[in-house]
Chains A and B, each alone.
Chain A
């Protein structure tokens, strides 16, 4: 398991209970975390976990200061992918009329999503805009457009096709990473809309 987990982590993948259930259980053991940390620590990296604990990933060791070059790469990637991703998450929540979707493991059924999009011209327009943002082209049908959009987010690691026959996707732990990014950007750029929400920390709850 060590081999498999370390290779996935070094490839830049997020390990969560959806993407790799066995690997995630393995990394939840403190002894195994130490083992992985010791290994990757020798090349200036460290094992990190999202604040909500839903996904493990590898980060640069920042003990000696932040690696600005690496941080620049992350910011550049965020800059390129954030807008369509936020549009997608917002659209899925509105289409499914459910704000509780954004948690690791939540299933997204393509058929249900498509039926809801079909029934509302505004959602169809959102889907078309999203397809343009992602530069996906298809046969012109909304179904094809949606499938391609989902495929893009699957390739980016935010979704996993857990049941190909019934076309059911699941949200992966990477969602927690992007939630942290959004929280930071909203704070940094003083973007409003959350004024009524007091900042909460894990320490307070526990």
Chain B
């Protein structure tokens, strides 16, 4: 392992060992010197990772910050990219030095210049690619990092200028100035190959992306510039409508030249039906059909004139079944009419096993209510002569007003 590689590994290990501190400083825009982190901060300052900012505060070095911005696609307003023209001029200078070293047979220098040139072309290509990516992201989110239209407009104009500079660089890279120099001497063939591989094959893609970005930026700028007149127009029109409540938009018959928007298609709601003959979809359709709850069916039979509903059908007559309590009272009344001594309702019910499910309270309540309802019948009707006697519990208080009925008895008076 060479010395330089060891040094770089050691440097990266410093970064790794202090990763939390660096991340904190990057995300929070700086870090304060404290007792527990002072040793680490000193180490990072020595390695040019942190730079003193103000008294005890330190910030991530701008070069590392830019690298992290790029990796994490963090957008900075008015971010200044590389100076492409200077980078391209540097390449031309390296080509000249390479040629001179070659002519003077300084092979080591020639090799160094070739390596420098290779790295320079790579850097330029990489920067153009990154700048285009960044511009594309900015144009696609329409300057979402700023809120007001005025800010958006200023940023739009700034980035249009950046895009223009990339356009100039692309033109420079495919122009005769650099390419012509590389092509004119067989001595420069290795440099031309590097240029071919790193730049020329990518130029068409860069040009197309650059055109896309420029057109989007221009269209957006146009829209931004239209906002104010549009707003004023709507305000003026709203004002006009308020002043002229009877105003009606013109009828289409009165229009000589139709505007483009009037040809808008009103639309049609499409409705499709499953084709049950297609076997591939049958299982899926069956599954869907099973998932639909069954519909409630209600059949309304209309009565034909001169006939009854359900006339002639088996279920035409509904026989109402009495409830057990109704049946029990009926039988109790029958038993009481045959009894010459008071027949307690509670005692009678308890002796009837078929009515064992009836509760005493419910039974007594129903019996009392029914006896009251039959009051006239006991005097002169069908149940004439039936006597009623209530078994009352003593009142808890003389003035409470409560009457507590414990039982009721019926019998036939002779």
The chain A residues found within 8 Å of chain B, CB to CB, are: 7, 10-13, 45, 48, 52-54, 57-62, 66-68, 70-79, 82-83, 86-87, 89-90, 93, 99-103, 105, 177, 179-186, 188-189, 191-194, 197, 200, 202, 205-206
CB proximity to A under 8 Å, residues B191-226: 218-219, 221-226
The answer to whether B255 and A188 touch across the interface, beta carbons within 8 angstroms, is yes
- B238→A87 contact, CB < 8 A: yes
Q: How far is the CA of A78 from the CA of B262 in the complex (A)?
A: 10
The one of A53, A61, A78, A105 in contact with B219, judged by C-beta atoms closer than 8 angstroms, is A53
Question: Please, which residues of chain A bring their CB within 8 A of the CB of B260?
Answer: 48, 59, 180
Q: CA of A67 to CA of B232 in the docked complex: distance in angstroms?
A: 32
CB closest residue in chain A, given B150: A100
Select from chain B the residue with minimum beta-carbon distance to A86: B238
- Mask, B255-280, CB within 8 Å of A = 1, is 10011111111111110000000000
The reply to whether B265 and A58 contact each other, CB–CB distance below 8 Å, is yes
The interface stretch among B9-17, B115-123, B245-253, B366-374 is: B245-253
A191 adjacent to B262 (CB under 8 Å): no
Shortest distance between the CB of A14 and any CB in chain B (Å) = 9
B263 with A59: CB separation less than 8 A: yes
Contacts A194-B236, A197-B232, A206-B222: A62 and B264 contacting too (C-beta < 8 A)? no
Q: Pick the contact of A182 from B227, B234, B266, B270 — CB < 8 Å? A: B234
The answer to whether B218 touches A205, judged by C-beta atoms less than 8 angstroms apart, is yes
Known: A74-B264, A100-B149, A200-B229. A89 touches B221 (CB 8 A): no
**Interface size on B (CB < 8 Å)?**
48
Tell me the minimal C-beta distance from A47 to chain B in angstroms: 10
Please indicate the chain A residues that have their CB under 8 angstroms from the CB of B270 in the complex: 7, 10-11
Q: Are A100 and B249 in contact (CB under 8 A)?
A: no
- B355 contacts chain A at the CB level, 8 A cutoff: no
**Minimum CB distance partner of B248 in chain A:** A79
Can you name the residue of chain B whose Cβ is closest to the Cβ of A129? Answer: B242
In the complex, A87→B233 CA distance in Å? 13
A191 and B229 CA atoms in complex are apart in Å by 15
Is A71 a contact of B222 with CB atoms below 8 Å? no
A180 pairs with B234, CB closer than 8 A: no
10 nearest interchain CB pairs? A12-B267, A193-B236, A90-B238, A99-B231, A100-B149, A72-B252, A58-B265, A75-B252, A71-B262, A59-B263
Task: Determine if A11 and B218 form an interchain contact, defined as CB atoms under 8 angstroms apart.
Answer: no
Give chain B nearest CB distance to A48 CB in angstroms.
7
Q: How far is the CA of A77 from the CA of B265 in the complex (A)?
A: 12
Q: How far is the CA of A79 from the CA of B239 in the complex (A)?
A: 17
Contact A86 B223 (CB under 8 A): no
What is the CA–CA distance of A95 and B383 in the complex, to the nearest angstrom? 84
**Cα distance A2–B269 in the bound complex, in angstroms:** 17
**B240 contacts the other chain (Cβ, under 8 Å)?**
yes
For the residues of A in contact with B, the DSSP-based class is helix
Identify A83's interface contact among B230, B236, B241, CB under 8 A: B241
Assess the B267–A11 pair: CB atoms within 8 A. Answer: yes
Q: Please name the residue on chain B nearest to A196 by beta carbon.
A: B232
Min CB gap B147→A, angstroms: 10
Q: Shortest distance in angstroms between B70's beta carbon and chain A's nearest beta carbon?
A: 25
User: Given the complex of chains A and B, what is the CA–CA distance between A7 and B258 in angstroms?
Assistant: 27
| A193 to B259 alpha-carbon distance, docked (Å) | 21
- Chain B nearest Cβ from A1, distance in angstroms: 17
What distance in Å separates the Cβ of A133 from its nearest Cβ neighbour in chain B?
10
Q: Are B267 and A70 in contact (CB under 8 A)?
A: no
Does B228 have its Cβ within 8 Å of any Cβ on chain A?
yes
User: CB of B376 within 8 A of chain A?
Assistant: no
Q: Are B262 and A66 interface neighbours, CB within 8 A?
A: yes
- State whether the Cβ of B142 lies closer than 8 Å to any Cβ in chain A: yes
| B237, B260, B269, most chain A CB atoms within 10 A | B237
A selection of 29 A-B contacts at a CB cut-off of 8 Å is A11-B267, A11-B269, A11-B270, A12-B266, A53-B223, A58-B264, A60-B264, A60-B265, A62-B263, A67-B263, A76-B252, A78-B249, A89-B234, A90-B235, A93-B234, A99-B232, A100-B149, A100-B231, A102-B230, A103-B224, A105-B142, A179-B230, A181-B261, A182-B233, A184-B259, A186-B237, A192-B240, A193-B240, A194-B236
B148 interface hit (Cβ, 8 Å): yes
Q: How far is the CB of A33 from chain B (nearest CB, A)?
A: 14
Contacts of B265 in A (CB 8 A): 10, 12, 45, 57-60, 70
Closest CB in chain B relative to A17 CB, distance in Å: 9
User: Using Cβ atoms and an 8 Å threshold, which residues of chain B touch A70?
Assistant: 262-266
Inter-chain contacts of A101 with B (CB < 8 A): 231
Q: Do A71 and B233 touch (CB < 8 A)?
A: no
Q: Which residues of B contact A72 (CB under 8 A)?
A: 251-253
Smallest CB–CB gap between B211 and chain A, Å? 12
Is there an interface contact between B233 and A186, defined as CB atoms closer than 8 Å? Answer: yes
CB–CB B238/A100 < 8 A: no
Give every chain B residue within 8 A of A68 (Cβ-Cβ).
252
Kindly provide the distance from the CB of B262 to the nearest chain A CB, expressed in whole angstroms: 4
- Whose C-beta in chain A lies nearest to the C-beta of B269? A11
Q: Which residues of chain A are near B258, meaning CB under 8 Å? A: 62, 66, 71
**From B148, which residue of chain A is reached at the shortest CB distance?**
A100
- Among A12, A54, A71, the one with the most B-chain Cβ atoms within 10 Å of its Cβ is A71
Distance in angstroms from A67 CB to nearest chain B CB is: 7
Instruction: Write out the residue numbers on chain A whose beta carbons fall within 8 Å of the beta carbon of B221.
Output: 205
Q: Which residues of B contact A53 (CB under 8 A)?
A: 219, 223
B142's nearest neighbour on chain A, judged by CB, is A105
| Interface-central residue, A73, A77, A103, A182, by most chain B CB under 10 Å | A103
Given A83-B241, A183-B233, also A177-B261 (CB < 8 A): yes
